[in-house]
Amino acid sequence: MSFLTIFYACLFYAAAAMLVGGLAYKIMGYARTPAPLKIPTTPAPTTKSGVALRVGREVVFFESLFKSNKWTWLFGWMFHVALLLIALRHLRYFLQPIPVVLVLEQPFGIYAGFAMVAGLLGLWVRRFAVDRVRYISTPSDHLMLALLLGIALSGLSMKFIAHTDIVSVKEFILGLLYFDWQPLPTDPLLLIHLFLIATLMAIFPISKLLHAPGLFFSPTRNQVDNPREQRHLAPWAAQLEGEPTAKSDS
């Protein structure tokens, strides 16, 4: 067992632990924090199923972003959909046998790689070209784009320039899953690709990538517009009910 294999195996276990543990910690924090007042941005749905549709449209179509800015929407949506197709394509490294639907998806996943790069470049250009976006961009915003672009380019290079031994890669990954470690090929492109992905996983819960779980917990999007019909007392607010100003004759 080479040092590299051990290093990458440990790296992925650590990254996965940080991703899962960190996200669970953040999500529990969001879930435990009360939303004491009804603040949906109206017009808002008046039923739970309506709210599910609203959040669904945000997740799938980026509805609010579309209202806001067509260029940001175009690049942002293109990048995210591409990322999804690419992630699906990579499931073949985790599943044995590979389901038919994944086999059919493969070509889409390949060309999505180019869409991902185009989307990321578009978003990055905005950070320089639009003075307002340039003003709000922090070093971490640029690094995040660089990280994602690095992942996309190293991946595309392995597909179109220098192939790696994907059979061995799959054995390595399945080995990680079943705690039966297998040697990792030592292609530089593959090592870069995997290292950047592990980095992305590790920083997910401590970075702006929290926008993903955040959307589901956003009170302006996930609340039903029914405040006249129902009271929504948070536990800390309910304690005020016993105070003198709350007394009434009824």
Partner 1 sequence: MAVAEFEVPKLKKYPVVPKIQEGAMAHIASFKASADVQEKIGFIGEMPENWKETALAKMGELLGKYRSLRVFMDACVHCGACTDKCHYFLGTGDPKNMPVGRQELMRKVYRRYFTFAGKYFPKLVGAVDLTKETLEEWYSYFYQCSECRRCSVFCPYGIDTAEISMAGREIVDSVGIGQKYTNNTLVKLHSIGNNLGLPGPALFDTMEGLEEDIQIETGVDVKIPIDMKGAEVLLITPSADFFSEPHVDSLIGYAKVFHQAGISWTLSSHASEAGNFGLFIGSYANMRRAAMRIRKAALDLGVKRIVVGECGHAWRVAYSFWNTLIGPFDFLDPNYPVPQHVCEVTYDLIQRGVLKFNKEANDDRVITFHDSCNVARGTRMGNTPGGQFTIPREIIKAVANNFYDMDQDTIGEGTFCCGGGGGVLTDDLVEVRVKGAQPRIEALKNVMDDRGVNFMASICAICKAQFNKVLPFYGIDTSLNGGVHQLVSTAIQLEAKE
Binding site for partner 1 (CB under 8 A): 26, 29-30, 33-39, 41-46, 58, 62, 64-65, 67-69, 72, 76, 123, 126, 130-133, 135-141, 143, 203, 206-208, 210-211, 214-215, 217-221, 225, 227-234, 236-237, 240, 245-246, 248-250
Q: Compute the distance between CA of residue 111 and CA of residue 115 in angstroms, rounded to an integer.
A: 7
Q: Report the greatest alpha carbon distance in the chain.
A: 81
Q: How far is the CB of 152 from partner 1 (least distance, A)?
A: 18
Sign of CA dihedral 170, 167, 190, 141: negative
Which of 197, 177, 173 is CA-nearest to residue 185?
173
Q: Which is nearer to partner 1, 184 or 201 (CB)?
A: 201
Q: Kindly tell me which of 90 and 232 has the beta carbon lying closer to partner 1.
A: 232
Closest separation in Å from C-beta 23 to partner 1: 12
Q: What's the rounded Cα separation, in Å, for the pair 133 and 39?
A: 28
Shortest Cβ distance from residue 186 to partner 1 (Å)? 31
145 Cβ partners below 8 Å, 6+ apart?
A: 120, 123, 124, 127
Q: Which is nearer to partner 1, 191 or 209 (CB)?
A: 209
Rounded to the nearest whole angstrom, what is the least distance from the CB of residue 144 to partner 1 in the complex?
8
Contacts of residue 207, Cβ cutoff 8 Å, sequence gap at least 6: 140, 144
Whose Cβ is closer to partner 1: residue 109's or residue 150's? 150
Task: List, in sequence order, the alpha helices (H) in the chain.
Answer: 3-32, 48-61, 63-68, 70-90, 100-129, 131-136, 139-160, 166-177, 188-203, 211-217, 219-222, 235-238
Least distance from partner 1 to the Cβ atom of residue 37, Å: 6
Token couple for 88? 């699906």
Nearer to partner 1, 96 or 248 (CB): 248
Smallest distance from the beta carbon of 158 to partner 1, in angstroms? 28
End-to-end CA distance of the chain: 77
Question: 215 with 62: CB under 8 angstroms?
Answer: no
Name which of 75 and 172 has its Cβ closer to partner 1: 75
